[in-house]
Structure 1
Amino acid sequence: MAPSSMSPISPVPAAPHHGLLLGGVGRYTDPWHPFAETNTGLTDVAREAGVVLEPAGDIDAALASFAEGALPDLVVVNIGLPRDGRPVPDGAGAAAGLARLLGSVVPVLAVHSSATCFPDDEVWEAGLGGTWVRGTSMHPPYGRAHVLVTDADHPVTAGLDDFALDDERYTHLRHGPGVRVLLAHEHEGGRHPLLWVHTRPGGGLTVYDALGHDGRSYASGAHRTVLRRALGALLG
């Protein structure tokens, strides 16, 4: 019998996951963070992980949309604290939507200044696993950050070595006793978490990454690896 002339069947590429990016835009920006850079960095890393992020044009409207109807498959948060004197989030619908999201099983990846964006909001702190505390939390001057892998048994950090990158090192964040700290840094004799995994009260999973001040953070190969793995862990 003559050998078959048929070409081998190529595997069908896996369909990408889709998520919503609540990225710094509009009132959820600040003078210190280049959100255009970091939104692009997150979108690029997500694409490498097989995730397509759709940016929200209005953060409060996006949060309000969570109050009813279908929720996204994934939410990535990269926003700052509004300074226009309006409530955060703005409106009962936005507050209800944020609470419904965090009470659901939708996975959430939040980065850097997102820990500051809803000050004194117990729902956000419980969903994030921690928060920036005004008057207590701080960061040393921007510069070379030496990041310690504190838990090498988690899939996000398994096999990774300590690494360095140019970034801010958030320090004295408040976090709950149940979070699993994977990355940290040392400052003035103390060890401070930089990335943790948190199972929310409703059963959803949150990863908070305190790194990500600007585009140089997302140029770090080690940081990109951590983020890709975090997205993989969140999406199962």
Structure 2
Amino acid sequence: MAHRALVLTGSGRYADPWHPFAETGSRVADILIRREWDVDVSDDVDGGMAGLDGYDLVAVSAGDPWRGGERGAPPAAVEGFAAALERGIGVLAVHAAVSSLRDYPEWAPAIGAMWVPGLSFHPDAGEMTVQVEPDTVPAEVPTTFHVHDERYCALQRLGRRTVVAWHEGDGAKEPAAWVREHGAARIAVDVLGHDSRSFDASGHRTLVAALAAWTVDGR
């Protein structure tokens, strides 16, 4: 039986002027479909979080809901995500998702990092090199690949993690992707994926597939 995934893309208060979330979410969905996942895509982030029963993975490509000053998520959504984590759902957080879901108490502790306004930053988007840690992902993921993307820097770390990939930050290496366990749930974070160009890189596509597989299979 194929694994089931729900890909949630930012709209409404989860949208912003910089990220084409529908586009990047579609690329993530396509990667999973090509690996024979059964995938649904929704731009209703809170509605999706309230309806995670039956899914093996939730992937989030969405922005900061507090940017426009609106706070508060439906209780059913908050509780739905908490229950899904408790049963061991896989989570894949993509790029700006490290600044998202601020109304969900379990989100930041689960993914293990958050964007801190005024402190976290990124240089201008452009060509960058990603270095993958040997033996952390399947051999099909190249140890080095090049991608057009943003380099997130100075994220607030929360808890322990295993870094899977790195990029050069502002004078120091910064994690580009990591995995961690949070209770019964397996969590993967990929801070690449600013726009569709990021997923044009075959190395990035194979990394996303490997991260998603790890959340449900542990490999």
Whether the TM-score (by the shorter chain) exceeds 0.5 is yes
Letter in 1 for 2:71: P
Letter in 1 for 2:80: G
Deviations 1:95-119 (A, max 9, x none): 2223223333111111000000134
Deviations 1:54-102 (A, max 9, x none): 0124221222335xxx3422111111113443324x2222222232233
Contact 1:180 1:197 in 2 (8 A): yes
Distance 1:120 1:36, change over 3 A: closer
Matches within 5 A, 1:95-174: 95-119=78-102, 122-149=105-132, 151-156=133-138, 160-174=142-156
| Partner residue, 1:75 | 58
Letter in 2 for 1:87: R
- Percent identical pairs in the alignment equals 34
Secondary structure of 2:33 counterpart: helix
Deviations 1:18-54 (A, max 9, x none): 2111112333211100112102211111112211220
Distance 1:177 1:158, change over 3 A: farther
**Structure 1 CA distance for aligned equivalents of residues 30 and 141 of structure 2:** 23
**Quick check: 1:207 aligned with 2:188?**
yes
Secondary structure of 2:39 counterpart: strand
| Partner residue, 1:223 | 204
**Structure 2 CA distance for aligned equivalents of residues 199 and 170 of structure 1:** 22
Root-mean-square deviation over aligned CA pairs: 2.0
**Structure 2 CA distance for aligned equivalents of residues 154 and 24 of structure 1:** 29
Contact 1:48 1:228 in 2 (8 A): no
**Quick check: 1:32 aligned with 2:32?**
no
1:194 to 176, 190, 201: 176
**Quick check: 1:232 aligned with 2:213?**
yes
Distance 1:71 1:127, change over 3 A: farther
Deviations 1:124-169 (A, max 9, x none): 11111111112211111000111122x2111346762211110011
Shift of 1:191: 1.3
Secondary structure of 1:87 counterpart: coil
Contact 1:73 1:106 in 2 (8 A): yes
Letter in 2 for 1:183: A
**Structure 1 CA distance for aligned equivalents of residues 139 and 185 of structure 2:** 20
Distance 1:122 1:17, change over 3 A: closer
2:37 to 51, 61, 68: 51
Name stretches of at least 5 consecutive residues in structure 1 with no aligned partner: 1-14
Distance 1:141 1:98, change over 3 A: same
Distance 1:164 1:142, change over 3 A: same
